[in-house]
Structure 1
Amino acid sequence: MAVLVLYATVEGHSRKVATHIAEHLEDRRYVALLGDVREPGFTVPGTFDAVFICAPVHLGRYPEPIARFIEDWKDALVLVPTGFVSISLSIQSDNPEERAAARTFPEKLSRRTGFYPSHVHHAAGALKYLEYDYFKRLLMRQIAGKEGGPVDASRDYEFTDWDALNGFVDDVIAEIRG
């Protein structure tokens, strides 16, 4: 079985999530092709047994290349089980309203593109303090402080639940074998 794992990334965490998915699939003896949607060169998504798409949410939106890719390939994507991984810090917020808002992002993308993935997973992202410029670091520390999150900007923080992500991948794959 061959699985396409695609991503767009802003700070690198979505690439890490997509790489983890590809490695998890390979550990289970599947062929996984990993690719950035912003780079040409991969084959038609509908020729795979499943597709995973990983995308971060920044300022309430996914990167534009994700939306364009889904719009361009929705006719092929609808032919295979598709797992969409929405990556945001808001999904792990203590504020239920923020978590609820984070759960709406995939639906908004689907309404825009006309494609509704068969499976959606919400993964918490990462605070990449060491990679932020001065102003973004200040802003993210302020947001994290309001949320009761880590504010020590001398290191990065990762909040992704890797076991839950593996379970999601296994559920999508079970549909194929099913």
Structure 2
Amino acid sequence: MKALLLYSSREGQTKKILEFIDKELSDYQCDLVDLHQITAVDWDSYDKVLIGASIRYGHLNKLLYKFISANLSQLQSNKVAFFCVNLTARKEDQGKDTPEGSAYIKTFLKKSPWQPPLIGVFAGALYYPRYKWFDRVMIRFIMSMTGGETDTTKEVEYTNWEKVSLFAKKFAQM
């Protein structure tokens, strides 16, 4: 069996999550592809497709929505799942790591003509030392407002890998 793992990632955490899922899908041969680099998908070559996308400054990348518009009928007629990576999902005790509790997923479902049958929400990572000056300042400001890490010398990974593993199992069973 074959699976296509597409990612829209800015700092690499979404790709890292898909690499983890690739290892979890031991019964599948997986192709990991950057959504921003793909020109076309040979849908007949894959049993399943998983799309992961990250939030930056409250928004998913516009290229994700263009991909959805260009491939809507294939997304609706194949086994395709979606997950979103964001720093708000670190607040698991508030339910921000669920499709029902994620404002980003609610917005996605309103904006997208595609309604994925399986949706995941995972906390991302802070990579302060890797950010450009403007991003470092802005993300620190946002984190200070939301009670997050503000030490710009740190890298903090919030991803709950057990939750990612459970999602990979659900995806395999689709």
TM-score by length of 2: 0.86
* 1:12 Cα offset (Å): 1.6
When structure 1 is superposed on structure 2, of 123-132 and 88-97 the one drifting more is 88-97
Show the counterpart of 1:20: 20
Distance 1:109 1:60 in 2: 11
Quote the residue 1:106 is aligned against.
Answer: 105
Amino acid at match of 2:23: E
Structure 2 residue aligned with 1:89: 87
RMSD across aligned positions (CA): 2.4
Q: CA deviation at 1:97?
A: 9.3
More helix by share: 1
Of residues 44-53 and 113-122 in structure 1, the stretch that sits farther from structure 2 once superposed is 44-53
In the TM superposition, residue 167 of structure 1 has moved relative to its aligned partner by 0.6
Instruction: Give me the whole-angstrom Cα distance separating, in 2, the residues matched to 1:18 and 1:134.
Output: 28
The 1:104/1:13 distance shift into structure 2, 3 A limit, reads same
Gaps of 5+ in 2: none
Summarize deviations over 1:21-67 as a string: whole Å, max 9, x none.
22221xx2311111011113563235421111000111221011111
Which residue of the partner structure matches residue 37 of structure 2? 39
SS at match of 1:77: helix
One of 27, 30, 50 as aligned partner of 2:28? 30
- What residue is the counterpart of 1:54 in the other structure? 52
CA shift, 1:98, in A, is 6.8
How far off is 1:106 after superposition? 2.7
What is the CA-CA distance between 1:70 and the residue it aligns to?
Answer: 1.3
- Retained in 1: the 8 A contact 2:49–2:81? yes
- 1:84: how far off? 0.7
Q: Which consecutive segments of 4 or more residues in structure 1 shift more than 4 A?
A: 94-102
Normalised TM-score (structure 1): 0.84
Residue segments in structure 1 that go unaligned for 5+ positions in a row: none
